[in-house]
Amino acid sequence: MTQELTSPSPAPQAPGTGRGPGWWRDAVIYQVYVRSFADSDGDGIGDLRGARERLPYLKDLGVDAVWLTPFYASPQADGGYDVADYRAVDPLFGTLQDADELIRTAHDLGLRVIVDIVPNHTSDRHPWFQDPELARQRYLFRPGKGESGELPPNDWESVFGGPAWTRTDRGDWYLHLFAPEQPDLNWDNPEVHAEFEAIMRFWLDLGVDGFRVDVAHGMIKAPGLPDIGHGAQAQLIGAQVLPFFDQDGVHAIHRAWRRLLDGYGDAHGKQVIGVAEAWAPTAERLALYVRPDELHQAFNFQFLNAPWQSDALRSVIDASLAATASVGAPTTWVLSNHDVVRHTTRLGGSLARARAATLLMLALPGSAYLYQGEELGLPEVTDLPDEVRQDPAFFRGGRATGAVGPGTDTESAPDGVAAGGQDGFRDGCRVPLPWSGELPPYGFGPGGSWLPQPADWGGLTVAAQTGDPASTLELYRAALELRRRLPGLGDGPMSWAPAPDGVLALTRPGLLCTVNTLGHDVGLPAPGTPLLSSAPVTVDDATAQLPGDSCTWWAI
Residues lying near ligand BGC in the complex (CB under 6 A) are found at 78, 81, 118, 178, 214-215, 277, 338-339, 402-403
Q: Residue 523 in 3-state DSSP?
A: strand
Q: Which is nearer to ligand BGC, 92 or 475 (CB)?
A: 92
Q: What are the residues whose beta carbons fall under 8 Å from the beta carbon of 332, sequence distance 6 or more?
A: 275, 297, 298, 299, 300, 366, 367, 368, 369
Residue nearest to ligand BGC (CB): 402
| Separation between Cα atoms, residue 342 and residue 377, nearest integer Å | 9
Q: Which is nearer to ligand BGC, 26 or 427 (CB)?
A: 427
Q: Tell me how far, at minimum, the Cβ of 118 lies from ligand BGC, in Å.
A: 6
Q: Is 60 a catalytic residue?
A: no
Q: Tell me how far, at minimum, the Cβ of 125 lies from ligand BGC, in Å.
A: 15
Peptide bond preceding 441 in cis form (omega within 30 of 0)? yes
Measured between its terminal Cα atoms, the distance across the chain in Å is 19
Provide the 8-state DSSP code for 353.
Answer: H
Q: Tell me how far, at minimum, the Cβ of 220 lies from ligand BGC, in Å.
A: 16
Task: Determine contact, residues 248/222, Cβ cutoff 8 Å.
Answer: no
Query: 268 forms bridges with which residues in the sheet?
Result: none
Q: Which is nearer to ligand BGC, 123 or 461 (CB)?
A: 123
Residues 246-277, buried b or exposed e (16+ Cβ, 10 A)?
A: bbeebbebbeebbebbbebbbeeebbbbbbbb
Q: Tell me how far, at minimum, the Cβ of 215 lies from ligand BGC, in Å.
A: 5
Catalytic residue among 26, 47, 98, 214, which? Answer: 214
Q: Is 277 a catalytic residue?
A: yes
Task: Determine contact, residues 184/214, Cβ cutoff 8 Å.
Answer: no
CA atoms within 13 A on the CB side of 449: 24
Classify residue 386 by burial, with Cβ atoms within 10 Å: 0-12, 13-18, 19+. Answer: exposed
Q: Tell me how far, at minimum, the Cβ of 338 lies from ligand BGC, in Å.
A: 6
Q: Which is nearer to ligand BGC, 23 or 395 (CB)?
A: 395
Q: Tell me how far, at minimum, the Cβ of 212 lies from ligand BGC, in Å.
A: 9
Provide the 8-state DSSP code for 446.
Answer: S
Q: Which is nearer to ligand BGC, 178 or 303 (CB)?
A: 178
Q: Which is nearer to ligand BGC, 26 or 339 (CB)?
A: 339
Q: Tell me how far, at minimum, the Cβ of 453 lies from ligand BGC, in Å.
A: 21
Q: Tell me how far, at minimum, the Cβ of 289 lies from ligand BGC, in Å.
A: 14
Classify residue 474 by burial, with Cβ atoms within 10 Å: 0-12, 13-18, 19+. Answer: middle
Catalytic residue among 277, 374, 375, 391, which? Answer: 277
| Separation between Cα atoms, residue 438 and residue 119, nearest integer Å | 41
Task: Determine contact, residues 360/320, Cβ cutoff 8 Å.
Answer: no
DSSP structure string for 377-426? TPPPP----GGG---HHHHHT-SS-SS--S---GGGSPTTEETTEETTBS
Task: Bin 433: left if φ > 0, else alpha if -120 < ψ < 50, else beta.
Answer: beta
| Of 339, 334, 336, 372, nearest in space to 46 by CA | 372
Q: Which is nearer to ligand BGC, 31 or 320 (CB)?
A: 31
- Written in H, E and C, the secondary structure of 144-175 is CECCCCCECCCCCECCCCCECEEECCCCCEEE
| Of 470, 441, 473, 474, nearest in space to 457 by CA | 441
CB atoms within 10 A of CB 32: 27
Dump strand ranges (E) for 183-292: 210-213, 273-276
Q: Tell me how far, at minimum, the Cβ of 234 lies from ligand BGC, in Å.
A: 12
Q: Which is nearer to ligand BGC, 195 or 318 (CB)?
A: 195
Q: Which is nearer to ligand BGC, 237 or 473 (CB)?
A: 237
Q: Which is nearer to ligand BGC, 426 or 508 (CB)?
A: 426
Q: Tell me how far, at minimum, the Cβ of 135 lies from ligand BGC, in Å.
A: 19
Q: How far is CA 421 from CA 415, 430, 466, in A?
A: 12, 10, 28
Which residues are marked as active site? 214, 277
